[in-house]
Amino acid sequence: MAYRYFSAEKLPADESAYPVSVLLDGEEAHHLIHVMRVKAGEALILFDGSGAEFDTVISSVRKKELAAEIRSRRIENRESVRDVILAVALPKGERQRWLIEKLVELGAAEFMPLEAERSVAKAGEAAAARMNRVVIEASKQCGRNTLMKLQEAKTSKAIFSRSFSEAPENAEILKVIAHPGGQSLAELLAATENQGKKLLAAIGPEGGFSESEAENALNSGWIPVSLGKRILRTETAAMMVCAIAAD
């Protein structure tokens, strides 16, 4: 099977101009050249996050860059039917990497680091860069041609406020807070009035949401949902939401 690699630069979409040559450099090129040791003449599939996949043939390999000729392009949609946005209090280290990888595989459309009262990890620039890399790696592996969007971090105070809930861009979204004791997420999503609605789910840190966070959420129209009888770790809870809601 041909290798699948990501081009950070948008690739030419005008098929009437094909075959067209493109240059790959940076980390992706480095990996192809020095780890996979590709040679001219080999097939390479590229994607640029636009939803399309490009069949190319490598035409030349240099030390830090390689050229490939695009032969054809096709839209290959492997996105979930329902848009699922996860707002999650970031876990630390390996768990964070794992969380992002699994959410990409499970088809989450967007990810928002959530700064909750009991959050343990900072959602700074270093975390964003790391997560971005994981999104690309996971997309290469699982065949997604659209990248899970990494949003800027938001505080629980901001998202559990009325002004957030009532903002025109959020008003139509189904907003749920994962909180033990809520209603079943699967049942909520199956209700006729919720078919096809975008879902935004908030998942708390290991210490859980505080009482005031939960109260603010409920007062702002967030629906508490249960993920079952057992207490799940943050990353398991996020995956569970995605497994139930995305397909």
- Of the residues 150, 178, 239, 244, which one makes contact with ligand SAH according to CB under 6 A: 178
Least distance to ligand SAH from the beta carbon of 203, Å?
4
- Of the residues 132, 146, 220, 226, which one makes contact with ligand SAH according to CB under 6 A: 226
Inter-residue contact 83 to 151 (CB < 8 Å) = no
Burial class (CB in 10 A: 0-12, 13-18, 19+), 70: buried
Tell me the pairing of strands 174-184 and 199-203: parallel
Least distance to ligand SAH from the beta carbon of 84, Å?
15
Contact between 237 and ligand SAH per CB under 6 A: yes
Span of 14-22, 79-87, 140-148, 224-232 interacting with ligand SAH by CB under 6 A: 224-232
Q: DSSP of 77-116, one letter per residue?
A: ----SS-EEEEE----HHHHHHHHHHHHHHT-SEEEEEE-
Q: Give the chain's largest Cα–Cα span.
A: 61
Contact between 180 and ligand SAH per CB under 6 A: yes
User: Helix, strand or coil for residue 208?
Assistant: coil
Span of 67-75, 99-107, 126-134, 174-182 interacting with ligand SAH by CB under 6 A: 174-182
Binding-site residue total for ligand SAH (CB under 6 A)?
Answer: 17
**Residue numbers of the site for ligand SAH (CB under 6 A)?**
178-180, 203-204, 206-209, 226-228, 230-232, 234, 237
